[in-house]
Amino acid sequence: MCGIVGYVGPRQATPILVGGLRRLEYRGYDSAGLAVLDPRTGKLGISRSVGKLVELERALERQPLPGHVGIGHTRWATHGRPSEANAHPHSVNGVAVVHNGIFENYLELKRRLQAAGREFSSETDTEIVAHLIDEALGAGAPTLVEALRVALSQVVGAYALVVVSERHPDEIVAAKNASPLVIGLGNGEMFLASDVPAMLEHTRDVVFLEEGEVVELRAAGFKLSNLAGAPITRPSRRILWDAVQAEKNGYPHFMLKEIHEQPRAIADTLRGRLQPETSDVDLDGYELDPRSLRRVVLVACGTSFHAGLIGKFMIESLARVPCEVDLASEFRYRDPVIGPNDLLIAISQSGETADTLAAVKEARAHGCRVLAISNVVDSAIPRISEATVYTHAGPEIGVASTKCFTAQLAALALIAIHMGRRSGHLKAPEAARLITELAAIPARMTTALSALGDLKDVAARYRDARDFLFIGRGTSFPIALEGALKLKEISYIHAEGYAAGEMKHGPIALVDDGVPVVVLAPRGPHYDKIISNLVQVRARNGRVIAVGTEGDTQLADMAECVLWVPDVSPLMQPFLTVLPLQIMSYAIAVARGNDVDQPRNLAKSVTVE
Ligand code: F6R
């Protein structure tokens, strides 16, 4: 996601802030900016640029920002396209803010502020907070931290929020809810950042903010309190990671970090879109009435294609609209029968994949409507689509997609519920149940991830296998395909995913005591059938690794190894059943000594055919 830095102390802030932002570059961003309080004029100097940090540095050469108190930001667009106006800091009457996260109720607050005569200069949700703080200061808030508290009492959402103000020039105030923020302790100077690497060259003594905490930073020290103003004391921690480990938040690889970021990625993708009061889903204001549609065609490549296969289950079962799923590379060349009554849903994490882009162009040429699902705001596919449901997974650095996959599932579930409500097929009580279940998925994923552990023992057992089979039924079939893809991508072991019912039509010939067969067997409508498939594999001496629902004692006796996941309804199972397969692939690849984050022959964004 976005990067935040802050500095207060005797040194010039600008080089420290730019250096900190450079340390966060690896996370990806599309624009950057600084706000520094100029002690000569008492005014805030602000500089913002689109593109790489070097653009900001050029702007700072032209117009330097002197001063000892400042904040900086690299933005990864979520609300509003990448542009100078949307880049942070956002400022209003001498109050400047930078923000990571999403304010869910920003439209409602923006309308109220506009009605009160306030004007906005960006499309972001962040700018409202600068107004709220300015409003609170104008209404007599005695301190900046008090004004921040007044503002926070009005917002709903996730934030790491950092503020400086001309009216309180010696301090920075900040607050955290769901997005990370960490204080760095210097000698007569203080640092603040969204991530440890940003300040590692200045200090290793840090204090991590917890949820609902507010901090006031001055050169001499910091004061931590909760939202109600009660003081909090917390000892600092010494960071022993090196710079590279710090970029990975202490994880040995980005892929593992991203696997563990999935609960947050899903929560951010759902944030502000689930509407439990009306048992509905708001697709950021986009209205999709399926009654005018003949059918939906989902197109994508690789892992995103597997998300599309699950999207078909979701949309067909909740909205009862016929769906097809196609590989973008096939769709674009097969002279598809599509027209104005069809909706193409193009799924692409990067938003730049050449085949998916070409499929969208082909569909548009036939007058077909196009909705995109992407993780990159304003990338090529969203730019030529009628609307985009963005996933808010944050930049994915590991080449093998993990958190973007489950965030795509979350986006598809949102679209399916939205369409289901409008098709009339999904009644309010069932929608309410699904919304509650979806909202609980991040917590279920956290539980599953901690229960699964590192699976090093499983990796040690199967790392030398030459071939793997993955089988599943229903929504577990695409997960079998995804499990096989993850394994082959990073471990270089040959792996095939199959619909379990196909086993006896060919693949079962491969089974012997040298081939591990991963059987996706969560409890649900296909359970008995998949158990029959499992038995057939065992009868041929196959080595079964099962993925099963916690508490299934029958399964425990039938497999060489069982990877347990919490119980959820069948449509939601893919969010959980994919987790052990991601971790197992990762653990096997590490055990084989492979370059997990940059596997051979693969690129993160495939912009050529
Ligand atoms: C697999 C993987 C790829 C991508 C595929 C599509 O781990 O990452 O299979 O899913 O190249 O990429 P996007 O989603 O960017 O269109």
Name the residue with the closest Cα to ligand 1, atom 11: 302
Rounded to the nearest whole angstrom, what is the distance from the C-alpha of residue 71 to the centroid of ligand 1?
35
Ligand 1 binding pocket includes 374 (Cβ within 6 Å): no
Q: What is the pLDDT of residue 18?
A: 97
Name the pTM for this structure: 0.85
Has residue 605 got a pLDDT over 80?
no
Q: What is the mean pLDDT of residues 418-439?
A: 97
Ligand 1 binding pocket includes 348 (Cβ within 6 Å): yes
* pLDDT tens digits, 245-260: 778 888 999 999 999 9
| CB-CB contact of 566 with 470 (8 Å) | no
Has residue 25 got a pLDDT over 90?
no
Which two tokens mark 117? 């005569």
* pLDDT tens digits, 445-485: 999 999 999 999 999 999 999 999 999 999 999 999 999 99
Q: Which residue has the tokens 């976005």?
A: 2
Distances (CA, A) of 157 to 114, 271, 444, 484: 20, 7, 20, 37
Give the distance from CA 20 to its chain's centroid.
23
Rounded to the nearest whole angstrom, what is the distance from the C-alpha of residue 243 to the centroid of ligand 1?
28
Has residue 607 got a pLDDT over 70?
no
Q: What is the mean pLDDT of residues 40-52?
A: 96
* pLDDT tens digits, 169-226: 999 999 999 888 999 999 999 999 998 889 999 999 999 999 999 999 999 999 999 9
Q: What is the pLDDT of residue 378?
A: 81
| CB-CB contact of 71 with 16 (8 Å) | no
Rounded to the nearest whole angstrom, what is the distance from the C-alpha of residue 396 to the centroid of ligand 1?
11
Name 598's Cβ contacts closer than 8 Å, sequence gap at least 6: 399
Q: Is 175 helix (H, G, I), strand (E, B) or coil?
A: strand
Ligand 1 binding pocket includes 303 (Cβ within 6 Å): yes
Q: What is the pLDDT of residue 609?
A: 66
Name 4's Cβ contacts closer than 8 Å, sequence gap at least 6: 71, 72, 73, 98, 100, 160, 162, 181, 192, 193, 194, 198
Name the residue with the closest Cα to ligand 1, atom 7: 400
* pLDDT tens digits, 326-360: 999 999 888 999 999 999 999 999 999 999 999 99
Q: What is the mean pLDDT of residues 141-160?
A: 96
Alpha helices in 453-545 (DSSP H): 456-462, 476-491, 527-539
Q: What is the pLDDT of residue 1?
A: 61
Ligand 1 binding pocket includes 304 (Cβ within 6 Å): yes
Determine the atom of ligand 1 nearest the C-alpha atom of 349: 14
Q: What is the pLDDT of residue 600?
A: 84
Has residue 370 got a pLDDT over 70?
yes
Which two tokens mark 472? 């599943």
Distances (CA, A) of 395 to 80, 417, 595: 17, 26, 19
* pLDDT tens digits, 496-531: 999 999 998 988 888 999 999 999 999 999 999 999
Ligand 1 binding pocket includes 379 (Cβ within 6 Å): no
